[in-house]
Chains A and B, each alone.
Chain A
């Protein structure tokens, strides 16, 4: 009887520890994912994920705290944008200031297409 209880305890211990482990892994992979999309502001050219600066290390801890609080990825980006400005995220927003950057390739593409069309079909 005691043996059975012992086995059950042992098995449940393993199951529980694996569960804990997988939760921890989930959070750290989520932190990795978010920090790859964040620019390390004091070490330009590196993401928060790549950097080992104090700023980036603290940022990663903060992100994991926010995840544990139940914040979604988007909420965390919004939160950091509010603190540090849009520059912190790699994905720039579409706004009036960078409109030309977004549209210019498209204009070039259409222009080039027109040129080719004229060369091939009209001449």
Chain B
């Protein structure tokens, strides 16, 4: 009797471990940060790329119903492929798209926009990357959709896809 209980518990133990590992196989082992929703975006001020004026984020965001902050850089390849999508978005809608130029050289950034077009209404410089970090960004490209109260409605890590764009359009309408 005692032996039976022992074997049964061993069997149960191993089936338990087996199920856990088996279920774990399906789970992606890449860490995906939780989508932070309804969080306030930290305020920042920075220099505009073309006009060299100091601009505060609060001022830009409050005057529009929705704002998309897009972190980009001329040296980042995914940004290049994402750019066409942003251009399309800026043509289709009147969404206020703000660029945050991440760790870039000014000349290269301007060249990039000359070559591929400028979807941004304003472009702020983030020379040492600290603004992006204070916004909670991981790298380039990354986009935040905000309402006029600086609340992050959506956060897109990595290049925007056409699915993301249709979601954005749905939200802003």
Contacts and interface: CB of A to CB of B under 8 A. Distances in A.
Interface of A: 41-42, 44, 54-55, 57-59, 61-62, 65, 83-85, 87
A117 to B, nearest CB: 19
Given A57-B129, A58-B133, 11 more contacts: A41-B138, A44-B31, A54-B103, A54-B139, A55-B138, A59-B133, A61-B129, A62-B133, A83-B42, A83-B133, A83-B136
14 contacts: A41-B138, A44-B31, A54-B102, A54-B103, A54-B129, A58-B132, A61-B129, A61-B130, A62-B133, A83-B134, A83-B136, A85-B33, A85-B36, A87-B33
A79 to B, nearest CB: 9
Nearest to A39: B31
B34 interface: yes
A55 B133 contact: yes
Contacts of A87: 31, 33
Nearest to A59: B133
Contacts of B130: 58, 61-62, 65
Contact of B128 (A41, A55, A58): A58
A77 to B, nearest CB: 14
Interface residues of B, number: 17
Query: Chain B CB within 10 Å — which of A65, A83, A85 has the most?
Result: A83
A57 B36 CA distance: 23
A62 B134 contact: yes
B142 to A, nearest CB: 11
Contacts of A41: 31, 33, 138
A42 B134 CA distance: 16
A59 B102 CA distance: 13
Contact of B139 (A42, A44, A65, A83): A42
Contacts of B133: 55, 58-59, 62, 83
Q: What are the 6 A-B residue pairs with the smallest beta carbon separation, nearest first? A: A58-B129, A83-B136, A62-B130, A62-B133, A58-B133, A61-B128
A61 B103 CA distance: 13
